[in-house]
Structure 1
Amino acid sequence: MIVLRPLDSGRSQADIAAMRLPDSFLDDLRNRLSLSHVVGRKVTWDMKKTNQAKGDWWAPCPFHQEKSASFHVDDQKGFYYCFGCQAKGNVFGFVQETENVGFMEAVEILAGEAGMPMPAKDPKAAQKADLRTRLAEVTEEAVKWFRLQLETQAATDARAYLERRGLNRTTLDRFEIGFAPDASDLLMNALTDKGIPFDLIEGAGLAVPAEDGNAARDRFIHRIIFPIRDPRGRCIGFGGRAMNPNAKAKYLNSPETVLFDKGANLYNLGPARTAAGKGQSLVVAEGYMDVIALSQAGFEASVAPLGTAVTERQLQMLWRVTPEPLIALDGDVAGQRAGLRVVDLSLPLIEAGQSLRFAILPEGKDPDDLIRDGGPKAMQAVLDEARPMLSLLWHREVVGKSFDSPERRAMLDRDLRAVVRRIKDPSLRRHYGEEIARLRAELFGPVVPRGDGGGLRGNREFVSTKSHAQNRPFTPGKRWQPPAQATTTARTSDLAVGKTSPDTLLEQVILAGLALHPSLIGEFSDLLEAGHWTRDEHLWLAQVLIALEPQIGAEAARITIDERLGHEALEILLAQRHVRISPLTRTDVDGARMCIRDALARLDARRGADRERREAIEDFEDGADEAMTWRLAQAGRLRDNSQRMARSDDLDGADEVGLSTYLQDLLDTKVWEKAKKK
């Protein structure tokens, strides 16, 4: 049990003053580390009571002995509270209490975990904090002034514009929208009349100092004004939409100030976080008007970057709110490019439970347009069809490109491997590789394992066999022609090799069984369509089998195979000793079914063991831990299972003789007859 102590016990005012750190640093640290992540090291979450999507976590309290989950963590607000002992605080306080350290030590622990260097000691930190407070007071005065100006005669056109955009009075008040008149010094004069010195007005980003003979002037002139608040509710800056169509910049934002960091804040983040906590999807739009239109239509969990491309710090802020934000993109080329920039930025940062999805709007429409034309339902339909990150990446790599040569396909392979390598999370990197391999198989043909099992894994090569088969699958009713350069001898000679891999031998048993008993093809169609074959010949035969007419007889099936692949293909396959002595050639359909299933089970077990070993090696490359140990143990269990399936000597590392012995034992024991009696 953790003993509570007062946070500030034994601290002098000098000590407290020395602890002052830049607010921006502490805010960034909070954004990078969720409270649930930090607390999770000390508690066991009650997952029945916890609602991860809303950032609502429950566990037995670490500060007093209890069995019930009365300790609550609110990830959205960044606070914890125990309903039993009344312990409460934020992420810094939790580390102080659980590690028995002071505030600065707690900050150092968390900064190290987040990979952030501690800021250099600044004897003027207290003065800077005081300056931020004073600047925030200036911006609040400016908010009031801008809002009053929207009600004046000078703002007639601005009010008409906002009305045309469909903004009602409630929305105008909710977002505190104001107006800057077409004059160069009205705001400066209003603020100085309140006793605010010019250096604070300039420091808040509201005035441009005199230069080159020009007098000082207001920064925002003849613009609709959108106040920008940080998650704590402070006004830190402004955005202005020009009323003059000839203005150099349609939108103008506050400059970087002590208060305002464009890349570390998001428009409407505070209210959006609250709405997301109530179950709404977090939507990232392009600009202020999009967010306002979305919120007015009921999509209150909407935010936007502040005149810049999305930054890494903003992504971390989004993931603090929800594990999978929706990026709303315009359907034009510029929107696609913007989405891909976000994808490229986020690739090294994504992990299990931390990704993005992309909602592509109709071309030529932004969220405001879509909602005005089709209402909230039209927008919801777009959000419901949001696509995963990989969809955009794949689109970029293949759409509009030709892969009619080995060089071009090799270039695609190289680019896809580069994409996968950028993902740091080993498990996620593996899943991305597998999905890319699947997409590639749809484009060129199934991926054929080579040596290590194939797939788009690390630096390993992945090869499409369908590309050898004229880049298209078989379709029922059409005659397939093998490539001209692949003669019958070349296609079938490998089948006559005396010593081949166990996987290849098992594949030959499966394919031979289906060729001899075509009535079983429907039961194993998934295998034929998605199987990873070790040889081109196996793929070609599988494609012919899947294209056969349903209920075709054995003799008719053999004639069709001979017509499409050549007489030698099936003849050499059936001449292999392990096929010739197997139950396939001397039993009924039930016996063949059992033989095929048994061979398939052995093949799956072998490949599962190989896959687990590869993944263990990849885990080892990223640092040995419990995951690697578990994977190696799992690989051993799978391999043992593969060996126990045989009733004879094991097949591991064996050749045709080992498989022949195994199949002969199947025949001798008539395992299929025993299965039917059960």
Structure 2
Amino acid sequence: MSLPPGFLDELRTRASLSQVVGRKVMWDARKSNQGKGDMWAPCPFHQEKSASFHVDDRKGFYYCFGCHAKGDAISFVRETENVSFMEAVEILAGEAGMPMPERDPRAAEKADARKDLADVMELAVKWFRLQLRTGAASAAREYLERRGLNGEVCDRWEIGFAPDSWQGLWDALKGKDIADELIIGAGLAKPSTKGGKPYDTFRGRIMYPIRDARGRAIAFGGRAMDPDDKAKYLNSPETELFDKGRSLYNVKAARVAAGKGQPLLVAEGYMDVIALSEAGFQAAVAPLGTAVTENQLAMLWRISDEPIITLDGDTAGQRAALRLIDLALPLLEAGRSLRFAMMPEGQDPDDLLKSSGPAAVQGLLDAAQPMVQLLWSREVEGKNFDSPERKAALDKSLRDKIMLIKDPSIRSHYGQAIKDMRWQLFRAGSGTGGGGGTGGQRSAKPWGQPWGARPALGPSAGAKSSALANAADTHVTEHLREAVILAACISCPDVVEPFESGLESMACRNNDHRVLRDLVLRHAPDGAAMLRDQIERALGPDALENLLSQRHVAITPCIRKPGDTETTSMTIAEELAKLAAVRGLVDEVSDAVDDLSGEADEGVTWRLAEAARAADRAQRIGQEDKTEYVIADNGARLDRDEMARRQSMYDQIDFSKGGKKGP
């Protein structure tokens, strides 16, 4: 809504800043000079004992010499009441007796109709509160007492009672000459389908008034006293005043409390909100009997950048939290998110407060999980990732969820956080529990009983010592190859992502290699500079230089030409393939040596032969002869490049003078 020129100037002139501020502070009589409009008080925006908050009533501005807060009457109302600009203008205009500008005649009519409905709702609030004091409400009062709500608390929350009669409220409002259409339009009564008198919407229920952000009564929530009632809780129908998906219980008081620094808590029901507020957690709200809607989420974020969802610890509460994640992901913005404090199983905030007190609730709030952690838990909890296919399914599910985030920066940070948690789950050597490691055990040997009944032959000492020597050589080779792979990844971290699975599977028996591998997996997306900085922090300033200066690393093409992504990718792929081939060879040789403790048969011989051929293939990876040859007249193969070099040399010689040609 746009305001006409001069409206705000007139409002600032007519609204006394000292009167507006005076509702929130205690003036210092010694420093203040009311006659000159020069007023001093302790600042309402930060805790202090001295009067450093100055109001210049004539100029209409305030300033705090402690926290440097400053502004005019509108900004003061916005900050202290935690309301929007237009809401602050409406509050000040109402106090100054200035009518708000009307948009158009129809808007004015609607505003008048809403005001009339709000007036009827206030009459209903008073009538329900009076009924709570009658003999018919004795059971309701006993119930409230059992829930810890005495008369003072009930008055504070304006709790009332709807008698179990068909036209109790209707007759009371008609006695005040309220029109039928207003009573029905406010959702307080329903027309009879049998042609009789309209009947009350709420009967035999404890009544909780629902107010909007401006404090107007817009609806009711009613709890049935009859345990057999099909609807335990019943809300008002939607009206001109009330839109369930755009309303929150206790929103006005919560907004004020959140503006003073209290965390905004989202509970499930009226009693949870009341219990939290009475225990000191006054910035508590609740959706009205349904899951949080997109509009309600927007309202929450207008109050606080990071509301804490305090849902019940039962299955329904957990499902509601998970649904809220899917709703919130596309709406995330920088600095705006949700945290989740799950109550103990079978308890809600009211139960926890009664059993363990406010300290227990505060402990859960302090330990509230960020949304990315709950997203991860939802995808992995109770699942086993003991196969590549299951791991791939997890990756796809998480990737699909992250892609819902529209903000590219937040999407990137979510991806990195998920990658860190994935590494913790699948870190090398973590075993099979919970899906770590390779996720499976080696199968039993497929070999059956040997032919014949020959006596068992033990392995010869030579066979064992040879196997140990080969194993030692293999470990050395693995170490060298790992050094090349890690150096290549560090020199060009942009190529790391396709090789993450292979990097995770590296044995890394050397501790420095293990640390480097983990840092590469976690920080490669952050770029080379960040990765090198993390390595220096973890292993010291010389670690990277020591790695790159090793002779077998320094001669690697991708190290000599840093930034060459194609060469680096080929190097990493080739070295990982060699590591995998050698690991397979070692496993087969180990099995064959173990089998020598039994009968030596053709199966063992065949497996050893295959192992030898595999070893030969592994050593030849990347070493194929790529030389181009030409066939000479005598049938000999000649290196084409070597012939070209020799021809070039011959062209430089002047044979007629017995020496080289001149320039």
- The normalised TM-score by structure 1 is 0.56
Which residue does the alignment assign to 1:568?
none
Which residue does the alignment assign to 1:404?
386
Which residue does the alignment assign to 1:190?
172
- Alpha-carbon spacing, 1:154–1:409, altered in 2? closer, same or farther (3 Å): same
- Alpha-carbon spacing, 1:379–1:593, altered in 2? closer, same or farther (3 Å): closer
Answer whether contact 1:501 1:653 (CA < 8 A) is retained: no
Q: CA deviation at 1:467?
A: 4.6
Question: SS of the counterpart of 2:508?
Answer: helix
- Alpha-carbon spacing, 1:393–1:69, altered in 2? closer, same or farther (3 Å): closer
CA distance in 2, matches of 1:546, 1:493: 14
Residue type at the aligned position of 2:378: R
Give unmatched runs, 5+ long, in structure 1.
Answer: 11-48, 53-62, 82-87, 95-103, 108-120, 448-464, 473-487, 508-530, 550-591, 603-647, 660-678
- Alpha-carbon spacing, 1:148–1:76, altered in 2? closer, same or farther (3 Å): farther
* Equivalent position to 1:426, from 401, 408, 412: 408
CA distance in 2, matches of 1:164, 1:276: 30
When the two chains are superposed, the root-mean-square deviation of aligned CA atoms in Å is 4.8
Which residue does the alignment assign to 2:70?
70
Which residue does the alignment assign to 1:151?
133
* Equivalent position to 2:284, from 273, 281, 302: 302
Answer whether contact 2:306 2:339 (CA < 8 A) is retained: yes
Bigger CA drift: 174-183 or 306-315?
Answer: 306-315
Give unmatched runs, 5+ long, in structure 2.
Answer: 11-42, 47-59, 91-99, 430-434, 443-472, 515-538, 550-558, 572-663
Residue type at the aligned position of 2:399: R
CA distance in 2, matches of 1:238, 1:193: 21
Q: CA deviation at 1:280?
A: 1.4
Larger radius of gyration: 2
CA distance in 1, matches of 2:139, 2:405: 50
- Alpha-carbon spacing, 1:270–1:432, altered in 2? closer, same or farther (3 Å): same
Q: Please say if 1:503 is aligned against 2:488.
A: yes
Answer whether contact 1:359 1:386 (CA < 8 A) is retained: yes
Residue type at the aligned position of 2:545: D
CA distance in 1, matches of 2:199, 2:231: 17
Q: CA deviation at 1:70?
A: 3.4
Residue type at the aligned position of 1:546: N
- Mapping of 1:351-366 within 5 angstroms? 351-366=333-348
* Equivalent position to 1:597, from 531, 536, 544: 544
CA distance in 1, matches of 2:76, 2:204: 37
Query: Residues 216-273 of structure 1, C-alpha deviation per residue, up to 9 Å, x if partnerless?
Result: 2100000000011001010001010000111110000000000001111100010111
Q: Please say if 1:444 is aligned against 2:426.
A: yes
Query: Residues 551-586 of structure 1, C-alpha deviation per residue, up to 9 Å, x if partnerless?
Result: xxxxxxxxxxxxxxxxxxxxxxxxxxxxxxxxxxxx
- Alpha-carbon spacing, 1:208–1:503, altered in 2? closer, same or farther (3 Å): same
* Equivalent position to 2:563, from 649, 652, 673: 652
Query: Residues 398-430 of structure 1, C-alpha deviation per residue, up to 9 Å, x if partnerless?
Result: 111222222222111111001111111111111
- The normalised TM-score by structure 2 is 0.58
Query: Residues 279-322 of structure 1, C-alpha deviation per residue, up to 9 Å, x if partnerless?
Result: 21111100111111111111111110112211111111111111
Answer whether contact 2:208 2:221 (CA < 8 A) is retained: yes
CA distance in 1, matches of 2:145, 2:439: 62
Q: Please say if 1:546 is aligned against 2:507.
A: no
CA distance in 2, matches of 1:218, 1:179: 13
Q: CA deviation at 1:168?
A: 2.3
Answer whether contact 1:329 1:336 (CA < 8 A) is retained: yes
* Equivalent position to 1:223, from 197, 202, 205: 205
Answer whether contact 1:76 1:277 (CA < 8 A) is retained: no
Residue type at the aligned position of 2:251: L
Query: Residues 123-175 of structure 1, C-alpha deviation per residue, up to 9 Å, x if partnerless?
Result: 52221111101000000000110000000000000000000000122211111
- Alpha-carbon spacing, 1:122–1:256, altered in 2? closer, same or farther (3 Å): farther
CA distance in 1, matches of 2:225, 2:201: 14
- Alpha-carbon spacing, 1:396–1:8, altered in 2? closer, same or farther (3 Å): closer
Residue type at the aligned position of 2:488: D
- Mapping of 1:160-199 within 5 angstroms? 160-199=142-181
Q: Please say if 1:317 is aligned against 2:299.
A: yes
CA distance in 2, matches of 1:155, 1:466: 60
* Equivalent position to 1:260, from 242, 246, 258: 242
Question: SS of the counterpart of 1:226?
Answer: strand
Answer whether contact 1:502 1:653 (CA < 8 A) is retained: no
Percent identity (aligned):
51
Question: SS of the counterpart of 1:395?
Answer: helix
Q: Please say if 1:7 is aligned against 2:2.
A: no
CA distance in 2, matches of 1:541, 1:256: 62
- Mapping of 1:232-271 within 5 angstroms? 232-271=214-253
- Alpha-carbon spacing, 1:548–1:50, altered in 2? closer, same or farther (3 Å): farther
Q: CA deviation at 1:593?
A: 7.8
CA distance in 2, matches of 1:505, 1:377: 48
Q: CA deviation at 1:90?
A: 4.1
CA distance in 2, matches of 1:185, 1:494: 87
Question: SS of the counterpart of 1:329?
Answer: coil
CA distance in 2, matches of 1:326, 1:8: 36
* Equivalent position to 2:261, from 268, 279, 283: 279
Query: Residues 630-671 of structure 1, C-alpha deviation per residue, up to 9 Å, x if partnerless?
Result: xxxxxxxxxxxxxxxxxx986332969xx9xxxxxxxxxxxx
Q: CA deviation at 1:187?
A: 0.4
CA distance in 2, matches of 1:199, 1:244: 30
* Equivalent position to 1:378, from 341, 360, 367: 360
Q: CA deviation at 1:599?
A: 6.0
CA distance in 2, matches of 1:380, 1:80: 24
Q: CA deviation at 1:71?
A: 3.2
CA distance in 1, matches of 2:486, 2:544: 19
Which residue does the alignment assign to 1:619?
none
Residue type at the aligned position of 2:563: D
Q: CA deviation at 1:79?
A: 6.7
Which residue does the alignment assign to 2:624?
none
Question: SS of the counterpart of 1:179?
Answer: strand
Query: Residues 186-217 of structure 1, C-alpha deviation per residue, up to 9 Å, x if partnerless?
Result: 10000000000111000000001111456421
CA distance in 1, matches of 2:500, 2:225: 68
CA distance in 2, matches of 1:310, 1:199: 31
- Alpha-carbon spacing, 1:232–1:496, altered in 2? closer, same or farther (3 Å): closer
Q: CA deviation at 1:594?
A: 6.6
Query: Residues 366-425 of structure 1, C-alpha deviation per residue, up to 9 Å, x if partnerless?
Result: 111111111212222222221111122111111112222222221111110011111111
Q: CA deviation at 1:495?
A: 7.3
Question: SS of the counterpart of 1:543?
Answer: coil
Answer whether contact 2:386 2:439 (CA < 8 A) is retained: no
- Mapping of 1:583-622 within 5 angstroms? 596-598=543-545
Which residue does the alignment assign to 2:50?
none
Question: SS of the counterpart of 2:170?
Answer: helix
Residue type at the aligned position of 1:596: A
- Alpha-carbon spacing, 1:504–1:165, altered in 2? closer, same or farther (3 Å): closer
| Number of aligned residues | 439
CA distance in 1, matches of 2:323, 2:165: 39
